[in-house]
Structure 1
Amino acid sequence: MPQHPEPVVSELIDLLSLERLEDNLFRGQSRDIGTKYVFGGQVLGQALSAAQATVSASERKAHSLHAYFLRAGDIDAPIVYDVDCTRDGGSFSVRRVTAIQHGRVIFFCAASFQAAEDGAEHQVHMPEVPAPEDLDGNPSLPAERLAALPIKVQRWLSRRGPFEFRHVHPRDELSPPKRPPYQQVWFRLSEKVGDSPELHRALLAYASDFQLLGTATFPHGISYYQPNVQMASLDHALWFHRPFRADEWLLYSIDSPSAQDSRGLARGQIFDRQGRLVASTAQEGLIRVVPDASAAAHVPARS
């Protein structure tokens, strides 16, 4: 690990390194990254970190996580994670994690762990896309366009986060055109970190919440950044297939097969540079277009 990693990277690692209060009880801090509520990826990464801390890493590794977001998280308060050691079988272990804030459950998930086994193997092919070195990073907005946006959105768009993203087909999120519901995005942690597979899985859980649900808005020409659009994750599934490093380029290939009843479904496949499928995701989320910006600002996203 570098002697002095960038602050945004070290802050993220600190965020995923929970305080152990009891054997199966943990506390994580929250960070304001410009979203109205706690970023869903933060809760996913912290919950997985809590679950992993109750399983012997040398014996079993996480292979899947299934989560539900129940309430919006308060960015100004810590989150307590209560881990139930549901089962330890001959090959598999299951942990149920409940996230609590202000005395209420805001999230829960089940994570499954498996001892290493040999068996049949196959995978789909990685899409043929340009290499990340051949793509531009996210361009900065002109100052006058940025100044016209709400303060929270300004902070989100102007921040330098711990992950670098390069879109194969960039979209103007402030004036989005209508287009088919799929995209490919290269991403990686912006600094090298240690070799712990548990850390890299928690980092991927965090990053997997970026880009995913937004793909369901593509055919409708709307965006999270528009003041009358309300979006929130409802559930999230994540499967780990093969070893990977979150600090090396990964391709996120996403599609959205359906949107209906103010909900959109998105699916993702994550490949490494060698074309190996290392993880898969799925998420359903709320997508509402409300009458005006004030309505979007005052209606809780999960009402």
Structure 2
Amino acid sequence: MSDVLDELMGLLDLEPIGMNRFRGRCQDLGFKNLFGGQVLGQALSAAMQTLPGDFHRDWLPHSLHAYFLRPGNVRDSLEFEVSAPRDGRSFANRQVIVSQLGKAVMSMICSFQRPEQGFEHQLNMPPAEGPEGVASQVELARQWRDCFPERLRPIYTADKPVEMRVVDPINIFSPEVRPPHKAVWMRSDDTLGDNIRHHTTLLAYASDFNLITTALLPHGVSVFQKEMQVASLDHSIWFHRPFRMDDWLLYSIDSPSASGGRGFCRGQVFSSNGELVASIAQEGLIRHCKPED
């Protein structure tokens, strides 16, 4: 496992500090506040560690629904408190409250199901170029290196634990008006083992990249413009089928609506052989703030 991937998986594993309580570190990704995907992955990890029996064999996550309550910072640790509303024969539910400096920053409820056979159908994977020949976001960042503030250059141009290749990317420093659609190929930058928790928490982490920014495309704006205030408000994931994060996955995203200072985005995640493995939805703040006189 590469150093950057090993560091991220360590970040997602968490430290037990009591009965159904965990502590997690934070990582500075160059954003103004704590990255929501990190908290999603860590909260799912905390919930999975409280399931009865062997969660590698007995349980699979099938959905999570999270609300981001306050912006977190990247300096102080997070605490995760897990409660168990129900442990049934087929389904188990967990609620996770994430706090920092004594204040809640995220609330999440998630559900797990024992493996079961049933009816099968799905939508077809949309056509998309790549991933071969498509530049990664790190490669693009290195091309635009001089456009980033000096403090952020090492962060944005460093190797990443999840490689992401956006088909037909925009210039984030000179955005143009486009339809609200985006296709992103993603996979871990090295092989993972067979631990289900590692693959599912890594997808939760990666799902927060590229999502809400799709709602900015029809308006020709970017998160790198000083007058833009962009933040995740809520986030939901439905896990449909088993997958591996060390194989290429296509993240097909659209934004059907923006109103009231909020943008709504949807994502479908497909394996390289066309299986729909997860669906994602998020609403986020996309506020244009007038510069102060």
Between 1:156-165 and 1:236-245, the stretch displaced more is: 156-165
Give the aligned partner of residue 265 of structure 1.
264
Structure 1 residue 170: Cα displacement: 1.1
User: What is the CA-CA distance between 1:168 and the residue it aligns to?
Assistant: 1.5
By how many angstroms is 1:156 displaced? 4.4
Contact 2:147 2:173 in 1 (8 A): no
- Counterpart contact for 1:91–1:115, Cα < 8 Å: yes
Structure 1 position 13 matched with structure 2 position 9:
yes
Gaps of 5+ in 2: none
CA distance in 1, matches of 2:195, 2:187: 16
Residue 43, structure 1, aligned to residue 42, structure 2: no
Q: What amino acid maps onto 1:54 in structure 2?
A: T
> What residue number does 2:48 align with?
52
TM-score using structure 2 length: 0.94
Q: Secondary structure at the match of 1:200?
A: helix
Supply the distance in 1 between the matched residues of 2:238 and 2:106 (Cα, whole angstroms): 18
- 1:173-200 per-position Cα deviation (integer Å, ceiling 9, x unaligned): 1111000001111011101111111110
- Per the alignment, residue 86 of structure 1 pairs with 85
CA positional deviation for 1:159: 2.6
1:279 to partner: Cα distance:
0.5
Q: Give the percent of matched residue pairs that are identical in Structure 1 and Structure 2.
A: 47
Letter in 2 for 1:182: H
Offset at residue 90 of structure 1 (A): 2.2
Secondary structure of 1:132's counterpart equals coil
> Is the 8 Å Cα contact of residues 36 and 152 (structure 1) preserved in structure 2?
no
Q: In 1, Cα distance between the equivalents of 2:150 and 2:94?
A: 39
What is the rounded CA distance, in whole Å, between the counterparts of 2:81 and 2:96 in structure 1? 6
Structure 2 residue aligned with 1:22: 18
> Is the aligned partner of 1:232 residue 2:228?
no
In structure 1, the partner of 2:278 is 279
In the TM superposition, what whole-angstrom CA distance separates every residue of 1:190-214 from its partner, at most 9, and x where no partner exists?
0111111111000000000000000
- The answer to whether the 8 Å contact 1:251/1:272 transfers is yes
Encode CA deviations 1:119-169: one digit per residue, 9 max, x unaligned: 1110000011123113222344577x6445434553443232211111112
* 1:120 maps onto 2:116 in alignment: no
Paired residues in the alignment total: 289
Cα separation, partners in 2 of 1:133 and 1:148, compared to 1, 3 Å: closer
SS of the residue corresponding to residue 41 of structure 1 reads: helix
Aligned mates of 1:33, 1:42 — CA distance in 2: 10
